[in-house]
Amino acid sequence: MSRIMKIAIAGASGKMGRMLVDTVLNADCVELVAALDVLQSPMIGLDAGQFMGVTTGVKISYDSVETLEKTQPDFLIDFTRPEGTMSFLPICQELGIKMIIGTTGLSPEQYTILRQASKNLAIVFAPNMSVGVNATFKLLQVAAKILNNGYDVEIIEAHHRHKVDAPSGTALRMGEIIANEFNQELEDIAIFSREGHTGAREAGTIGFATIRGGDIVGDHTVLFAGTGERIEISHKSSNRQSYAQGAIRAAKFLNSKDHGIYDMQDVLGLK
């Protein structure tokens, strides 16, 4: 029988946090042992399963050090914000808690800190943990290899009104995959905004368009526009369940690792 993996969830009272709580409670081989959130959350001190009418015995806490020391989870699943992720990192390093990070908007400097930490800590870091999105990444790699000449590339993404970073981490990762197949660095060929008299589109660039509104969970479309034809590769999320399921798969993958930084392509065996 497989050992039960103990899970802590950061941002437990948010929309993604609640989906993670629900998924962990209904998954095999995992156990919810800790739930964290910011002090301002109205859920502090309440049961992590209260929103779904379930008593888990795990109360949502704002004291991450005390809670993680006391519960000793195997994994921390973190879909919060960069400042939250950076605050959890040294605690997890000290306690040997493996990290599954779905936070977006990390700066290059923060990502460097993650890579340094991975020398002695096992981390899965992915801007999108959906299995479908990661299958889309693989399709884009193939498409970009074929359509690397005579096609203009545009990446269009849409998210809910509360998302604070743009473009999304998923859109940026799509751009990185395509740029790599073009033998370029994304930062050298990305066009993030257009306004006024921009002139003709420069060949070999990758354009980004961002939409924010309503409660859109996450839509991404990559357009390869050639002469006389268009190829569109799209992924649309109707809820956050796929991200949570991907996080559980990441935990199972990371269970046998003692250090290193991995992404969902590693988890899914797509590399």
| Nearest by Cα to 100 from 116, 113, 112, 88 | 88
What is the separation, in whole angstroms, between the first and last Cα of the chain?
Answer: 29
**Per-residue CA distances from 257 to 102, 109, 239, 250 (Å):** 18, 25, 30, 11
| Nearest by Cα to 168 from 99, 239, 242, 222 | 222
Q: Considering the candidates 98, 159, 220, 235, report the single residue annotated as catalytic.
A: 159
Q: Considering the candidates 163, 236, 257, 259, report the single residue annotated as catalytic.
A: 163
d(CA 17, CA 21): 6
**Edge-to-edge strands of the sheet including 190-191?**
190-191, 206-212, 152-159, 218-225, 230-237
Two structure tokens written together for 145: 């290899």
**Is position 163 annotated as part of the catalytic site?**
yes
Nearest 5 degrees, angle CA 222-CA 225-CA 230?
85
3-state helix, strand, coil in the chain (%, to 5): 35, 25, 40
Q: Which residues are known catalytic residues?
A: 159, 163
